[in-house]
Structure formats: C-alpha cells, structure tokens
Structure 1
Amino acid sequence: MDFLKPRYTPMNRRRRIYEGKAKVLYEGPEPGTLIQHFKDDATAFNAKKHEVIDGKGVLNNRISEFVFQNLNDIGVPTHFIRRLNMREQLIREVEIIPLEVVVRNVAAGSLAQKLGIEEGTQLPRSIIEFYYKNDALNDPMVSEEHVTAFGWASPQEIDDIMALAIRVNDFLSGLFLGVGIRLVDFKMETGRLWENDTVRIVVADEISPDSCRLWDIKSNDKLDKDRFRRDMGGLVEAYSEVARRLGILPESEVPNGRGPVLVTSKD
C-alpha cells in the first residue's frame, strides 16, 4: 500500500464517514485509511458555546501533524500517516475507544474547581483521568472499574492506554518546556488499530491547543482553548504563537481560513 502518494479527491466528491465538533472524517484513498479535515469551529461545554474562527483549523492541523509525526518518530504508535494539505491529514482507520484520557500536571479547569485547589498549583505527580465520551451525558468522569465493567476497554487495554498517556505526557512536557511553554494538562484519545489478526492501541484524534492547556512559563498567559472558553479573545494569535515557537510557521505567515485552495490542493 502506497501511503506516500495517495490519490487526492476534492472534498465535495468524497464520502463523509463522520462529522464531529471540530473535524470531519472522509473515506480515504486506500482501504484502512481516512482523511481527517480540520474545521474552524470552536466549541466549549459540549458545544453549548460555538463560534467559527477563521484559521483555527489550519493551525490545529499543522500543530497536530508536528506532534504526531514526532510521536511516530520516537516509537509511540499513532493513527497519523501524513499531512495532505493545510487542513487535512491522511490517517489510519481505527476503532475509537469511547474514552477521553486526561493527563494533569498542574491544577486547572474542572480539577481546580471540584477540589478547591488554586489554579496553577503543581500537582504532587501527574494524574490520569478517564471520561466516558458521551455528549448527552456531558462526558462524565469514570473509573477503571466502570471501563472494564461496561466493556469499553479490557484491563490490558487500560494498561496500554495509561502507558501511552505517560509516554505522550513526557514527550509533550519536554517539547513545550523547550519553547517556554508549560504543559498544564492535555486530553488524548486512543483507538484499536487492526493489522491482520492482531490489534494494538494507538494514539488517535488530534493533539493541539484545542486539547491541551498551554501556559507561557514566564507570564502564565494562556495559549490554548481557554481563551475561547473564558471569552479572553485572541485564540488564533495564541495558537499562532505556539506554532511559531515550535518552528512550524514562519514569523511572517498568517493563517487564512478562507478559500477553497486550503481543502483541494496539495502543499
């Protein structure tokens, strides 16, 4: 199977497989592949708050590509194959496990609120939490007992997921620290990748400022989706700053969300 030079089909002629709040999945050019398209939609509180922000999808695509490619390079298995253009990636089709895995290094968001911990407090150690992916139930937090009792994942799969979460946390913490950013927490999704008669757990979905809390080390300025959640403004500027520090975007490049060229032409 040639993943390096897939056929490219314009978006309006592809079969849509699934549409979420921030991305659309289309049928891929080869069996076992999908095309993941990043939208400009910004949502919070399970889409109770929604806005379209030009350029957001472009930035998330580029940042997520950078993270996933580096994870692949260090031997962390992911669904990512390659970026196709400014808004789309070629990915392996996986069976998504219905859990959001949240890794927390610093108290923030719901953890700070529920436990009465001052936001910004360094945690004694990294904490891994599981949330059941169900918008109608507002993605409730669940235990490993819930996960195994309801068959969402086996005990061995939970071990694999937690091992991946620790490795990804270690990598991201070092990556962002090197560019003056504190990784407060992040959300990770995983899936089952079927290869003949074997199956393995891989990192899926995206890793971007949409799914991470990222604070400037010196100023504590928020460089993530909290800028949208908390009506702070400047979301694209914050995401652009993350991309520039990672060396993804030149200083002069400004993301532009408009125009069909972003979804129909190769880079």
Structure 2
Amino acid sequence: MARRNKIYEGKAKILYEGPEPGTLVQYFKDDATAYNAEKHDVIDGKGVLNNRLSEFFMTGLNAVGVPTHFIRRLNMREQLVRACEIIPIEVVVRNVAAGSMAKRLGIEEGTPLPRPIVEYYYKDDALGDPLVTEEHIAAFGWASQQDMDDMVSLALRVNDFLSGVMTAVGIRLVDFKIEVGRHYEGDFQRLIVADEISPDSCRLWDIQTGQRLDKDVFRKDLGNLSDAYTEVARRLGVMPKNAAAGTKPHLIN
C-alpha cells in the first residue's frame, strides 16, 4: 500500500491519512516500550500479531453491538479505522489486583477483586499518565459527566466480552485499558472504542499456571514477548494451533 500523509506517530502505532473522508490507516510497529518508553526494544513480528489480535477483538465487539473505530484489515500491519476525536483519558478495568493498583493499595498481586473496578488515567507521558477522578475530568473539561457514564458502560461491556473470550481459551483477563473517541456523523456524536485491544493493552495470565501472556513479559524480563503473544493468537485461533513457538508469525487470513 502506498504511503499516506502521516497524521500521528506513537510508541507502537502510526496513523496515516485514510483513503476515504473520515478514515485513517493505523499501522502497527514492532516497537515494544515500557515505563513510558524508558525501556524500548524492537520485537520482530509484534506489530503483525497485534494487528491481527486487535482485529479479532474489535470485530467481535462490533458483532455484539459495542461500537469501535475498526472498519477492516488492509494487510498484515495495517487496518482501516474511523477517524475520531480521542478523549485524553485511558479507561482501565481491573478484575484482579496487579500492577500499579496492587502497589498503590498494598494488595497482594493476583487477589481477585469483589467486582470489576474502573479507573481513569490522564493521557500525558510527561506526567506518567496519572490516576485521576471524575472530579478532575469534569473540572478540566476533558469529558462531560454523560461522556464518563458512557465510557464506563463501554468499558464494562468490553470487559464482559473479553473475559468470556479469554476464559474459553484458558486465559484470565486480569485487567485492560481502552481509549475512547468521539465519532461524529453529521450533528450526531457517539463514543466508540478506539486505538487497539491487544496483549499490549491487557494483562493476560494462564488460568492454570499463572504464566504471563502480555507486555509484562517485556516489562519484567519474563521471557520472549513474541512467544507470549503467539500463544494468545494460537489459543484464539488467529494462527495455526500447531505453529512452533519461536517461529515468525504465520497468521490465518
């Protein structure tokens, strides 16, 4: 596909001008980052895996009535998405205590939570994406109360869908984050799930062994990140079940 005008480049993806009005091309890079890019590496094939896994999840969400920006996959690294105005808030849903929440509240990592807990983080790398409350969001005009209600509703619906899909293949959905965008159709605005859903944005643990199958493998030097993502793709049927670990991804069309 011919290169288009670059609109934005982040740590893991590039957005290009789309072929049709109101669309963008989202390109998945092989870069792996952690701790706000203090740790960085290039993992061969990671972008291909995340493109296909995000396609799998977004397609599933669209099918059950959860609106997303995903339109269709273009090739092994690119997908066509709806342009939207990203709300500068990451919405995190936690089912099990882990990561910053476990440290912040002194809860043992791996402790099941009595109910899914929704948290907001302000998207600002320079500040380390700080935890914020609805009061902050409303006071600084990042989103309205109706937006926040809709964001929570979207996030919990995504949680229900992802939890069911992952449990069916022996994976525990510990937590995940989504980004939400405002999509305009004439004078009508609705909130949709944007960015990506992949092992980069989820914590995924094997139910039986507790093995990490997400970006914590890279953060904590727990093994080969490509192998972990490949295992998720294999269990979900995104790549052949007999694919050998450590080989380059050969994904099912």
Aligned to 1:10: 2
Aligned to 1:262: none
Contact 1:54 1:256 in 2 (8 A): no
Contact 1:64 1:206 in 2 (8 A): yes
1:252 Cα offset (Å) = 4.8
Aligned to 1:27: 17
RMSD: 1.2
Contact 2:97 2:111 in 1 (8 A): yes
In structure 1, C-alpha distance between the alignment counterparts of 2:164 and 2:27, rounded to whole Å: 28
**Unaligned 5+ residue runs, structure 1?**
1-8, 258-266
Q: Is residue 53 of structure 2 the alignment partner of residue 63 of structure 1?
A: yes
Contact 1:58 1:255 in 2 (8 A): no
1:167 Cα offset (Å) = 0.3
Tell me how many residue pairs correspond in the alignment.
248
Q: Does the residue aligned with 1:34 lie in a helix, a strand or coil? A: strand
Contact 2:23 2:81 in 1 (8 A): yes
**Unaligned 5+ residue runs, structure 2?**
none
Of 156, 164, 188, the match for 1:174:
164
In structure 1, C-alpha distance between the alignment counterparts of 2:196 and 2:148, rounded to whole Å: 20
Q: Does the residue aligned with 2:57 lie in a helix, a strand or coil? A: helix
Q: Does the residue aligned with 1:185 lie in a helix, a strand or coil? A: strand
Aligned to 2:123: 133
In structure 1, C-alpha distance between the alignment counterparts of 2:152 and 2:241, rounded to whole Å: 37
In structure 1, C-alpha distance between the alignment counterparts of 2:10 and 2:226, rounded to whole Å: 20
Aligned to 1:108: 98
Contact 1:83 1:90 in 2 (8 A): yes
In structure 2, C-alpha distance between the alignment counterparts of 1:249 and 1:112, rounded to whole Å: 33
Contact 1:105 1:123 in 2 (8 A): yes
1:232 Cα offset (Å) = 1.3
Aligned to 1:183: 173
Deviations 1:132-165 (A, max 9, x none): 0001111000000000111100000000000000
Amino acid at match of 1:232: L
Contact 1:192 1:199 in 2 (8 A): yes
Q: Does the residue aligned with 1:231 lie in a helix, a strand or coil? A: coil
Higher relative contact order at CA 8 Å, sep ≥6: structure 1 or structure 2?
1
Of 24, 36, 45, the match for 2:26:
36
Q: Is residue 46 of structure 2 the alignment partner of residue 53 of structure 1?
A: no
**Within 5 A, what are the aligned runs for 1:222-233?**
222-233=212-223
1:81 Cα offset (Å) = 0.2
In structure 1, C-alpha distance between the alignment counterparts of 2:65 and 2:248, rounded to whole Å: 31
Q: TM-score under structure 2 normalisation?
A: 0.96
Contact 1:224 1:238 in 2 (8 A): yes
**Within 5 A, what are the aligned runs for 1:57-206?**
57-206=47-196
In structure 2, C-alpha distance between the alignment counterparts of 1:171 and 1:36, rounded to whole Å: 23
Amino acid at match of 2:27: H
1:256 Cα offset (Å) = 5.2
Amino acid at match of 2:248: P
Q: Does the residue aligned with 1:123 lie in a helix, a strand or coil? A: strand
Deviations 1:2-49 (A, max 9, x none): xxxxxxx423xx100000000000000000000000000000011011
Change in Cα spacing, 1:83 to 1:255, as seen in structure 2 (3 Å) is farther
Deviations 1:150-208 (A, max 9, x none): 11000000000000001000000000000000000001100000001110000000000
1:89 Cα offset (Å) = 0.5
